[in-house]
Amino acid sequence: MKLIDLVKDQSVEFDFFRDKTFYYICTDGVDKYRFSVPIDEIGEGCMLSTDKAIYFMRFIRKAFESDTLQKI
C-alpha cells in the first residue's frame, strides 16, 4: 500500500471521538484504515462527518509513517 492510494480521489469518514482525539476512517479502495486527529491540532477548524482525504493528508501521513494506521 502507498500513501497516495489513501488520499487520491478518496474520502474520510468520522468514526468516533475519545480522549480529545477524533478518529477517522480512510480507504485505499480495498481495505479500511483508522487514523487519529488530535483536537489540539484542529484550532478553529470545522470537523465534518465526511470530507476529502486530501484535507487530512497531514494526519494520514503521520499515522502511515509512525505505523499507527490501524487496519480495520
- Write down the domain spans for the chain: 3-71
User: How confident is the model over 13-62, as pLDDT tens digits?
Assistant: 999 999 999 999 998 888 999 999 999 999 888 999 999 999 999 999 99
Whole-structure pTM value:
0.91
70: Cβ–Cβ under 8 A, 6 or more apart, which residues?
A: 33, 34, 35
Encode pLDDT of 33-44 as tens digits: 999 999 999 988
Question: In 3D, which of 60, 62, 66 has the Cα closest to residue 32?
Answer: 60
Is residue 1's pLDDT more than 80? no
Higher pLDDT, 5 or 57: 57
